[in-house]
């Protein structure tokens, strides 16, 4: 599925907000991905990374399935999910300079708080699998739980498509020598050239 630049930029910079609930202490439901997103976006813009992050994110979304789904109330990775994640790990390995983020989602069955926790467990399960299959931990940024707030199918019933994780390009690993030199375009160009050679 082709990702539009506008949608991708919104996804990279959006700050997800949990719905307010009366009687719940402020800050009790920590969203690990929201607090630093404005700062992360500023860094991408000021360092000149943003266009290259968008290019890589569009390639990732078009070349590799970015989503895996789960059984109801489960974090278990079935065979299909593991196959998708192996493809993700292979793709991630081609870009040692890039960093990634995993978003966890649930359907709307159950409480919002329990679904946020379940989404986080699903994201952590995916991160752990990617690490076991060769992706360095420092390439995977803070996992994020969206819980039940972003369903693909608008229903309060059980829905597998809503019980998912999504892996996305989130930026560049700042300690990599190429990135430290600000050569983001070289990162993208290198893999275009190498992939053309593999195709011929």
Euclidean distance between CA atoms 84 and 77, whole angstroms: 10
The pLDDT, as a whole number, for residue 28 is 40
Say what the pLDDT of residue 76 is.
98
Number of C-alpha atoms within 13 angstroms, CB side, residue 61?
A: 18
pLDDT digits (tens, 9 = 90+) for 35-58: 455 545 555 544 556 777 888 889
98-105 β-sheet, strand order: 67-69, 164-172, 98-105, 144-147
Distances (CA, A) of 152 to 11, 138, 164, 166, 186: 15, 30, 10, 12, 35
User: Within 10 Å of residue 34's Cβ, how many Cβ atoms?
Assistant: 15
Q: Is 113 helix (H, G, I), strand (E, B) or coil?
A: helix
Question: Which is higher by pLDDT, 112 or 28?
Answer: 112
Report whether 92 contacts 109 (CB < 8 A). no
pLDDT given at position 96: 84
Whether pTM > 0.85 for this model: the answer is no
CA dihedral 5, 188, 168, 50 (to 10 degrees): -50
Q: Is the pLDDT of residue 122 over 80?
A: yes
**Which residues, including other chains, have CB under 8 Å from residue 183's CB and lie 6 or more apart?**
none
Give all domains of the chain, ordered by start, each with its CATH number: 49-199 (3.30.1330.60)
Tokens of 93: 């390995």
Torsion over CA of 55, 57, 63 and 65, rounded to 10 degrees? Answer: -170
At 143, the pLDDT band (50, 70, 90 cuts) reads: confident
Kindly state the percentage of the chain with pLDDT values over 70: 62
Structure-token pair, residue 37: 């997103």
């Amino acid at each position: 599925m082709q990702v539009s630049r506008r949608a991708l930029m919104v996804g990279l910079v959006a700050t997800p907000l949990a719905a307010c609930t009366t009687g719940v202490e402020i800050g009790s439901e920590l969203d690990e991905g929201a607090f630093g997103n404005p700062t992360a976006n500023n860094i991408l813009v000021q360092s000149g990374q943003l266009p290259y992050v968008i290019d890589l994110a569009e390639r990732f979304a078009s070349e590799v399935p970015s989503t895996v789904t789960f059984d109801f109330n489960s974090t278990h990775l079935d065979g299909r999910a593991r196959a998708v994640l192996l493809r993700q790990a292979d793709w991630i390995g081609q870009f040692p300079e890039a960093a990634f983020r995993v978003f966890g989602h649930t359907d709307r069955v159950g409480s919002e708080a329990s679904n946020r926790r379940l989404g986080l467990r699903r994201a952590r399960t995916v991160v752990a699998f990617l690490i076991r299959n060769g992706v360095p931990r420092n390439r995977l940024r803070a996992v994020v739980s969206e819980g039940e707030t972003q369903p693909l199918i608008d229903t309060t019933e059980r829905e597998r498509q809503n019980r998912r994780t999504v892996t996305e390009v989130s930026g560049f690993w700042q300690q990599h020598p190429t990135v430290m030199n600000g050569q983001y375009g070289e990162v993208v160009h290198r893999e275009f050239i190498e992939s053309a050679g593999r195709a011929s």
